[in-house]
Structure 1
Amino acid sequence: MTNDPGTAPASRPLGPAEVRAMAGAIGVSPTKTLGQNFVHDPNTVRRIAAVAGADGDVVVEVGPGLGSLTLALLPTVQHLYAVEIDPRLAAALPGTVADRAPDLADRLTVLTADALRIDAGDLGPYPPTALVANLPYNVAVPVLLHLLAVLPTLRHGLVMVQQEVADRLTAGPGSRTYGVPSAKLAWYAAARPAGSVPRAVFWPVPNVDSGLVAFTRREPPSPGVGRTAVFEVVDAAFAQRRKTLRAALGRWAGSPAEAERVLRAAGVDPGARGESLTIEEFGRIAAARHAG
């Protein structure tokens, strides 16, 4: 593998002036289309790296941008796969690391790729164990769920997302913010809020607040059916979240009457709403329909 993370020298961080100068040098202007907001505060990336607790991990970083968080992570990780969709940023990142952390350059592998389309075979010889990323706001939830699905060796992670999304990802049953992202993430992992990030540390400054979400992988429920079947129930239940499950699952089950039969077989109140159910209960509903 790579050299011992415990003895690695520190890297030189990027500040606001360096971030703007580097972007100008490679002709990058942050775009909303790619959800690009670059962190330029060294204290913030050091805090994220510390909260992530990825010492000795093989880390996947999505959207490394100009490399602020990458440089904060490299001193303690075993290896880092940086997945960057913008080819200009991907091409520039190895040079940035060689300049600002030359002794750590062998820990970095850069992939010019869409994180929504990668799988474990794209990364390389080291199975990833942690995800640490400032996720692009416009695809944060799909990217997180995709990576948890295709990278089963991920044990834990810390992602920065829009605060509203962070609230949804960490909400529990019964909360007004509990929904599809909450339930689907719960299939893979236990999640919790891990702090907030002020707008001023980004360039350009976003119009929304940001939050950190920490998660730890756990075994999914074992209802006797697979993830796809369970997620179909979740999607159906929240497509009409104001309706009772008997009504909301009517199309999924074939009719409201059949939905009620399945719900009762699963031990779930047909008059309840999706926002009150745990992922285990969604699993029981999927299994009850499968059992006939």
Structure 2
Amino acid sequence: MGNFDDMKNAYELSAKMMDKKMSRDRPLDYEILKDVRKSSVVIVAGSYDRVEMVLDLIKVPYVLIQPTQFHQIDLRSDQILIINCPGNITKGFDKINKFVEEGGFLFTTDWALLNILEKVFPGYVKYNQRPTGDDCVAVQIVDKSNSFLEGLFESDEEPIWWLENSSYPIRIENRTEVKVLIASKEMKSKYGEDPIVITFDVGMGTILHMTSHYYLQRADLRNKRHKTSAKEYAKAELGLSDDETQDFEADFEKVSLGEAESAYSTTQFIGNVIIEQQKRVKLRKNKKIKKKEDSNNNK
């Protein structure tokens, strides 16, 4: 067995050399690794899903890393970690578990059910081994009071959810801990399971998972309502006035109500997730401050 102090010096030197080399030869990779510590949102790139494209639209900053880089980064418990489908991370599973246990927020999509959640958090949810087709299903809101769904699906109509070819249906293993936010009777009749969006807590943190891809590729225009102009959705369901929508007239001509509803739902949804995590982080910080103040007052 070697001397620990000797090796400690070697590791410290190696870190300094790597810092110099990466900043010179791989500046973009270097900035990614440095920025992770400052960012509130960390996204693991996927070959099938691209949550980051929605965040670009709503101008939410994030750090994008490749799955092969995941084991190199540091995570903080005040961050949101988004793992795009397929979730092909091969190293760092313990890091994900620790991140959530300490208060981090994990958001995963589609194949990450099998590749991440089953491996890191066994016993909660599972892939039922019945992949979907390229399909669209009507969905029902199970818990309208949940903060993640605030401002979504205000009408009595059933929204349509797009399923990517070979999406993974969610089988719930722990019905006590796992909450279904959005379900689909049509999904169950076709593919054996009805959950579409689920959430559960582990330690101080939260996991949110959804079937199919977050960045929608298409919408299913099933009825007359879906085929009407997006302006109807903006006015009737979002409550926007003519003055508020006058700059969107050219856009309304290109988008149907069904398309607008699907896109708005996903956009608002990710906004809600980020807002909720920021609130939780602030609450935890305030509790720590109060605990410290109470401790000082009792001295």
TM over 0.5: no
- Whichever of the two has the greater Rg, that structure is 2
Provide TM-score, normalisation by structure 2: 0.27
In the superposition, the TM-score normalised over structure 1's length comes to 0.28
